[in-house]
A and B are shown apart, each in its own frame.
Chain A
Amino acid sequence: MATIASRALESPDPEEEELDTEITSIRAEIQNLQKRKRILTSSLLTTDPIQKLLRKQPKPQSTTTNPTDPLTTISPLVHAAGAHTSSNHHRIAFGATAFPFKDPSPTAPTTPLLGVRIDVCARNGRFAKPYYILLQSERSRAPNAGSGSTKLLKVYRHTVPAFISIAKLENAYLPRPSAKRDNANEDGDEDFSAEDEAEPAKPWKSGNRTQKQDLRGFVRELRRELVAWHMRVNAVEFLREKLGFVSEGGGSFPFDVSPDRDTGIVSLAAVSLETRYVRVEWVDGRVGRFKLSNVGVVERAVVIGDEGRDKKLEDAMTGDGGRVETVLDRLRVDVLFRSQQP
Chain B
Amino acid sequence: MARPKTVRAPTTASLPNNLRIPSSTPSLTKSLGKLSRQALLDLALTWLDDHNITSFPPYLQADEADSPDNDEALPYPAGETIEEVRRVYEDMQDRKGAKREVLERILEGDWRHGITLRQLAMADLRYMDDHPASLRWTALELSPVGENCKNSKRLPSDDWSSSVPRMQAATFVQGLQREISPLVKAHYHLAHSATLPLTFLRIFVVDSPYQSPKQTVEIFTDSSRVIYIAFPDSCPYVYTSIAASTGPKSAPLTSSVATDTRTLQRLVRDSIPKALSRPQQRFSLQATSLAAKNLPTLLALRGPGRSTASNGAFSIFADAAIEGSPLDPRPSNTVSSEEHIQASYCGPAEGKESTNGSAIKRRSGVSDTGPLSSGSKKRRLAIQSRFGTLESSLAPAPLDRLDIRLLDKPGFSGEDDGDFHDSTSTLPAVSLTFSGSDVIGGIRKLAELGIVNPERMPSWMTGEEGISVATVRRGQRLQRDM
Give chain B residues whose Cβ lies under 8 Å from the Cβ of A115: 317
Known: A107-B459, A128-B348, A164-B160. A202 touches B235 (CB 8 A): no
Contact assessment for A172 and B152 in the assembled complex, using a CB-CB cutoff below 8 Å = yes
CB A274 to nearest CB in B, in angstroms, measures: 4
Interface check A103, CB cutoff 8 A: yes
A160 neighbours in B (Cβ, 8 Å): 306, 309
Q: Which of B16-24, B58-66, B322-330 contacts A (4 or more CB under 8 A)?
A: B322-330
Contact of B330 among A38, A106, A108 (CB under 8 A): A38
Contacts of A167 in B (CB 8 A): 163
| Cβ < 8 Å to B, chain A residues 158-209 | 158-169, 171-172, 186-187, 190-191, 193-195, 198, 202-203, 205
Instruction: Decide if A225 touches B160 in the complex (CB within 8 Å).
Output: yes
Q: Among B150, B329, B456, B474, which residue has its beta carbon within 8 angstroms of that of A194?
A: B150
Given A163-B304, A165-B161, A228-B158, also A273-B233 (CB < 8 A):
yes
The answer, yes or no, to whether B197 is at the interface (CB within 8 Å) is yes
Are A124 and B346 touching (Cβ within 8 A)?
yes
Cβ contacts under 8 Å, A191 to chain B: 149-150
Q: CB distance A190 to B160 under 8 Å? A: no
A268 lies within 8 A of chain B by Cβ: no
A301 at the interface (CB under 8 A from B): no
* Smallest CB gap from A162: residue in B: B235
CB distance from A254 to the nearest CB of B (A): 14
Q: Is the interface of A mostly helix, strand, loop or mixed?
A: mixed
A224 in contact with B158 given A105-B464, A171-B152, A194-B150 (CB within 8 Å): yes
In the assembled complex, 14 residue pairs joining A and B whose CB atoms fall closer than 8 Å, in A order, are: A38-B330, A85-B329, A104-B382, A106-B456, A106-B458, A119-B326, A128-B348, A157-B310, A159-B306, A165-B160, A187-B148, A190-B149, A228-B158, A273-B233
Number of A-B contacts (CB under 8 A): 207
Decide if B304 touches A130 in the complex (CB within 8 Å).
no
A134–B237 CB distance below 8 A: no
Whether the pair B345, A42 counts as a contact (CB closer than 8 A) is: no
Does residue B105 face the partner (Cβ distance < 8 Å to A)?
A: no
B456 contacts which chain A residues (CB < 8 A)?
Answer: 106
At the interface, yes or no: B10 with Cβ under 8 Å from chain A? Answer: no
Q: Is A213 engaged at the interface, CB distance under 8 Å to the other chain?
A: no
B154 within 8 A of A: yes
Q: Which residues of B, 322-374, contact A by the 8 Å Cβ criterion?
A: 323, 325-334, 344-350, 352
> Measured between C-beta atoms, what is the minimum distance from A93 to chain B in Å?
9
A120 CA to B164 CA, complexed, in Å: 23
Contact (Cβ within 8 A) A195 B349:
no
- The reply to whether B313 and A129 contact each other, CB–CB distance below 8 Å, is no
Q: What 1/0 mask marks residues of chain A from 222 to 235 whose CB sits below 8 Å from any chain B CB?
A: 10110011100110
A318 at the interface (CB under 8 A from B): no
Out of A84, A104, A198, which one reaches B385, CB within 8 Å? A104
User: Chain B: which residue is nearest A171 at the CB level?
Assistant: B152
With known contacts A105-B313, A106-B456, A120–B163 Cβ distance under 8 A: no
B307 at the interface (CB under 8 A from A): yes
A residues within 8 A CB of B325?
119, 126-127, 130
- Taking the closest CB of chain A, its distance from the CB of B286, in whole angstroms, is 12
From B307, B325, B329, residue with most partner A Cβ within 10 Å: B329
- Is A132 part of the binding interface, using a Cβ–Cβ cutoff of 8 Å? yes
A83 to chain B, nearest CB (A): 8
| CB <8 Å contact, B158 and A129 | no
Chain B contacts for A276, CB-based, 8 A: 161
In the complex, per-residue mask of B258-283: 1 if CB is within 8 Å of any chain A CB, else 0: 00000000000000000000000000
Contact B153 A198 (CB under 8 A): yes
Given known contacts A108-B459, A171-B152, A221 and B160 CB-to-CB distance under 8 angstroms:
yes
Q: Are B329 and A46 in contact (CB under 8 A)?
A: yes
Report the Cα distance A202→B147, complex, angstroms: 19
Of B149, B313, B458, which is in contact with the most chain A CB atoms at under 10 Å from its CB? Answer: B149
Q: Is the CB of B160 within 8 A of A129?
A: no
Residue of B nearest to A198 (CB): B153
Question: A162 is contacted by which of B166, B237, B332, B462 (Cβ under 8 Å)?
Answer: B237
Q: Once the chains bind, are B307 and A159 in contact (CB under 8 Å)?
A: yes
Within 8 A of A (CB), among B133-150: 146-150
Kindly state whether residue A267 has any CB partner on chain B within 8 Å. Answer: no
In angstroms, Cα B457 to Cα A193, docked, is 46
Q: Is B320 an interface residue (CB 8 A)?
A: yes
User: Does B236 belong to the interface (CB within 8 Å)?
Assistant: yes
Q: Which residue of B lies closest to A95 (CB)?
A: B326
Closest 10 CB pairs of A and B: A107-B475, A162-B235, A165-B163, A128-B347, A91-B326, A105-B459, A122-B347, A132-B317, A273-B234, A43-B329
Judge whether B476 is part of the interface by a CB distance below 8 angstroms. yes
CB distance from B143 to the nearest CB of A (A): 9
Establish whether residues B149 and A194, one from each chain, have CB atoms under 8 Å apart when the complex forms.
yes
Contact with B along A88-120 (1 / 0, CB 8 A): 100110000000000111111000000101011
CB distance from A96 to the nearest CB of B (A): 12
Q: A294 to B160, alpha carbons, bound, how many Å? A: 11
Q: Are B458 and A162 in contact (CB under 8 A)?
A: no
Report chain A residues within 8 Å CB of B148. 168, 171, 187
Decide yes or no whether A215 CB sits under 8 A from chain B: no
* Nearest CB in chain A to that of B454: its residue: A104
**Distance of A190 Cα from B147 Cα, bound (Å):** 8
The answer to whether A169 touches B327, judged by C-beta atoms less than 8 angstroms apart, is no
The answer to whether the Cβ of A80 comes within 8 Å of any Cβ in the partner chain is yes
Residue of A nearest to B456 (CB): A106
| B393 close to A (CB within 8 Å) | no
- CB of B386 within 8 Å of the partner chain: yes
CA–CA, A81 and B456, complex, Å: 35
Q: Which residue of A lies closest to B339 (CB)?
A: A35
State the CA gap A250–B150 with chains docked (Å). Answer: 43
Residues of A within 8 A of B161 (CB): 163-165, 225, 229, 274, 276
